[in-house]
Amino acid sequence: MSGHYALVEQGASFLRERIGELPDVGIVLGSGLGDFTTGLANAVSTPYTEIPHWPASAVVGHAGTLVIGSIGGRRVAALSGRAHYYEGHSMQVATFGIRVLGLLGVRTLILTNAAGGINLTFKPGTLMVIDDHINLMGSNPLMGTNDDRFGPRFPDMTEAYSKRLRQVADQAARARGLAVAHGVYAAVHGPSYETPAEIRYLRTMGADAVGMSTVPETIVGRHMGMEIAGISCITNPAAGVLPQPLVHDEVMAVARRVRGEFTGLLEAMIERL
Domains of the chain listed by start with CATH number: 2-271 (3.40.50.1580)
- For position 243, what pLDDT does the model report? 60
Q: Which of 230, 223, 228, 224 is nearest to 102 (CA)?
A: 224
What is the C-alpha to C-alpha distance for residues 146 and 44, in angstroms, rounded to an integer?
A: 33
- For position 172, what pLDDT does the model report? 97
- CA 138 vs. chain centroid, Å, equals 19
- For position 1, what pLDDT does the model report? 47
Active site residue ranges: 31, 62, 84, 86-87, 114, 212-213, 236, 248
| Three-state SS at 206 | coil
- pLDDT, averaged across the chain: 92
Give the global pTM. Answer: 0.93
What is the C-alpha to C-alpha distance for residues 46 and 89, in angstroms, rounded to an integer?
A: 21
- For position 254, what pLDDT does the model report? 78
Predicted confidence (pLDDT) per residue in 252-271, tens digit = 777 778 888 999 999 999 99
Predicted confidence (pLDDT) per residue in 101-128, tens digit = 999 999 999 999 999 999 999 999 999 9
Based on the number of CB atoms within 10 Å of its own CB, is 245 exposed (0-12), middle (13-18) or buried (19 or more)? Answer: exposed
What is the C-alpha to C-alpha distance for residues 203 and 33, in angstroms, rounded to an integer?
A: 26
- For position 240, what pLDDT does the model report? 60
> Are the CB atoms for 65 and 81 separated by under 8 Å?
yes
Q: For a pLDDT cut of 70, what percent of the chain falls above it?
A: 93
